[in-house]
Amino acid sequence: MEKLLDRFLRYVSIDTQSNEESETQPSEDKELDLLRLLRDELKALGVEATLDEYGYVMASIPSNLPYKVPALGFIAHVDTAPDASGANVKPQIIPNYDGGEIALKGVPGLYLKPSEFPEMLHYKGQTLITTDGTTLLGADDKAGVAEIMDAVQYMMAHPKFKHGPLKIGFTPDEEIGRGVVKFDVAKFGADYAYTMDGGEVGELEFENFNAASAKIHIQGRNVHPGYAKGKMLNAILIGQELGAMLPVMARPEYTEGYEGFFHLISFKGTVEEADFAYIIRDHDRAKFEARKVMMQKVTDFINEKYGPGTATAVIKDQYYNMREQVEPHYHIIDKAVKAMEMAGVPAKIQPIRGGTDGANLSFKGLPCPNLFAGGLNFHGKMEFVPLESMEKASQVILNLVSLFAEA
């Protein structure tokens, strides 16, 4: 059987970065490179698997039990974040990590430091997989993909392992908020599911941010700077003025826990016109709605000050807090806690300061909490994952399968 590490390294070598500017699904054809591979690998293991026009891999393993139990699903996304390149990933393998700084050798002078990321010290003596500093790693969520495939490989190689009906799903475009927009829950056929898309070992999450995007366009007026007095409207500066009206302490770098935020994620523009992209997040639905109202109000103020049409805001909801959909089925949380205990992993139930495909799936009628995949520092060059955490995640999957197989 292929080792988990080798499988993970194969998957991260494939560039699957999604593109929020694209209108297609998948947003990039290159995501299909890994999706096709996964479909074919599942078939090679003896699993019935399909890949549809929207980039969804769905696979089914029939029950080998003489009695009926719920159909259980495991889901992970193949795309990596637009925040950093996912091309030509060159992982570094650090066996028996000694607790010191790790040189990211693709960028001279760049180090992954415990002084900046103290959680590294939790993994002394373990095998760490890091980037070389030139790209992200892709453990979000190729660690989850590899863990699911590792568990499937085990079950198919051990036919005496007892399990109910199992459903496997791999999705594109999660990182741009469109991962399961066209996902057919009825076709998937699971009663309950888990996304393997969390962070460090032990994380268990069934509540997440309510999320919206806000695209702000500023229409300025360019005039030769030598003759601009009383005439020029600098779109860049007006956009900065709009941003300055949002509360400083409601930025992600100043928030934690259940605190929401406004986050400026991109800017491009000139004096004539400029575009600012924000994301809006809050766990509390009422506070979330208030944040969207505030964004519209600062836009309206700009128009009152500089004239109608100076600023336009397009605010779109992306996903909602899954808690209200999952909590009525709390036994699936209890089973996840027990599955972690069986693997020697203390469960850490906490809110996601982000979102997963599971949020939208839960609102589609498939209760779907999120389990750890093991990685840390997602979306950037400081990303890393301990191999032992990935191995624990694969074991938790098998433990959950066994727990759901109980009569």
174 included as an active-site residue: yes
Catalytic residue from among 31, 141, 174, 200: 174
What mean pLDDT do residues 217-230 have? Answer: 97
Q: Kindly state the percentage of the chain with pLDDT values over 70.
A: 100
pLDDT of residue 355: 78
Q: What is the pLDDT of residues 94-112, one digit of tens each?
A: 999 999 999 999 999 999 9
Q: Is the pLDDT of residue 5 over 90?
A: yes
- pLDDT at residue 177, as a whole number: 83
Proportion of the chain above pLDDT 90, given as a percent:
96
Domains identified in the chain and CATH numbers = 4-208+321-404 (3.40.630.10), 210-319 (3.30.70.360)
Q: What is the mean pLDDT of residues 183-189?
A: 98
Give the pLDDT confidence score for residue 402 in this predicted structure. Answer: 98
Poorest-pLDDT segment among 172-181, 217-226, 231-240: 172-181
Alpha carbons 164 and 190: distance in angstroms, whole number: 11
Res. 354 pLDDT band, cuts 50 70 90? confident
pLDDT of res. 1: 77
Q: Of 15, 28, 31, 79, which is the active-site residue? A: 79
The mean pLDDT value of the chain amounts to 97
Q: Does the pLDDT at position 407 exceed 80?
A: no
Choose between 134 and 357: higher pLDDT.
134
- At 356, is the pLDDT very low, low, confident or very high (cuts 50, 70, 90)? confident
Q: In the predicted model, what is the mean pLDDT of residues 284-309?
A: 98
Clarify whether 79 is annotated catalytic: yes
